[in-house]
Structure 1
Amino acid sequence: MKFFWIRKILSRLLFPMPLVLQIGLLGAVFLLWKRTRHTGVALLLCSHVLLAMFSLPFLSDSLLERLEMAHPPLTEARLQAWLSETAPTDLLIIGVAGSGFRAPVALDATSAEAPSTLATDDLWAGFNNDFLIRLQEAGRIARRLEMEGRDYRLAVSICSDVSIETKVAAIEQYFSCFDTPPERLVLIDNAVNSKAEVACFEALGGKLILVSSAFHLARLMKLAEARGLSALPAPAGYVGRNPLFWIPSADALNNFRIVVYECLGSLEARKP
């Protein structure tokens, strides 16, 4: 837990924009004194160069692609080959790493009949885009396992202040689109980070299929391997490449932020 908070703080300091801002502010302070004016100019120049570099899709997309390509997509052929290596009676766990889920009050406006009441039939709309992509991949896998008649559980991690009942209702609503029986679903509501999620998935027993965004799965698999788990990776959702890769953009800055965060998170898997 101590490393968790250290990583949280460090990642915020090392994100592209905060880092550029820190260097720029330090340079501005050095400009106040004649003796350090040259250093201040150098730091300001450095901040501008770094901002331009971090904003280039050519660089950030390349680094992000290295994370995403760590594990290939889970095609039907690969899934079937993996299933053939497991016993028909084995319990299979589909573990979905959590992302964003909005509080119920934010969904009030989605109820056309009564704007002031909770739209309980649309709770699934509270999942953010990344989460929906992960859930879609998990639903595809669950449908295949259901067709194969396999014993499985679909575990979804949602760590927020929303009530457990609301979270359960949301995942049941969503996976009803894939004809997933409610008794197959398991809510993980106490995992504060990826390391805790992997531990919760492991506690369910059975052979594990890990589902997450492609850029995040590399870190998730390292955390699983650190626990001695042999998991099947199922990357979901790849960040699109910018064809104007020499023109700075805000998207490139965000991609660089993702790379920094994932790399710092991977250090946690290397801890003894």
Structure 2
Amino acid sequence: MGLFGSDRIYKPNQREVEEARIALRKARSKKGRAEVEASSANVVQRLVERLLDVGIDGVGRFASAKDLAARIEKKSRSRERAIRRVRNRHVKLARAGGFASGLGGVTTMAVALPANVVSFFTMATRMVATIAELRGYDTSRDEVRAAVLLTLSGQESDAILKQAGLGAITGRLAQSAGRRLTPGALMLINKAVGVHLLRSVGTRGVGRLFSWVPLLGGFVGQAMDGRMMRRIAAEADEQFPPVD
């Protein structure tokens, strides 16, 4: 077993892949956000629950954020060095997953892309949560978990917070972790983040439609997923400043 649990790409089960396939189809609907919100409530809920359960709490040999943070901090000279190791490793895992998903070109995309979507966002959630743990946040708290999810949504976070009745946060998302959020607000945040991720899934799929050729599609997927994971890592680094 490697430092990062199984030290491999997270592999979703058949049910997760099927749900991601359905999500992709709905996210590409011409009806847009209203279509996703109205007809995909269960898909959104399961997606968010899975990100929280697996991405933050871990499953099997896929280490939880808390365990990973403790393990890697012991083998690093400082917390910031540990964070760099977490970021770099997850970017490498994302690039490997992106390459594998696009390797077969259009002939395998229908199966490989949904699996990659679940894998990517699960690993991204764990990366953000691990950075939060290393910076002194408790990812067992609902408010911190909501902030982790909001980090995945990037520039959409202000709009999501407004939908939840919280208003835009001036400064860092981690400030929301200091607020006591009601169950209703948490539910609205989770739903809005889930909808945003589904829509971004559709964009990722459309982008990869240009990579029809086997092997070439692998390099396109590798570049896209590596760049996106780096962007999320940068967002996490900014949004979760050290507590102490």
Q: Same fold (TM over 0.5)?
A: no
Q: Higher strand share goes to which structure?
A: 1
Larger radius of gyration: 1
TM-score normalised by the chain length of structure 1? 0.23
TM-score, normalised on structure 2?
A: 0.24
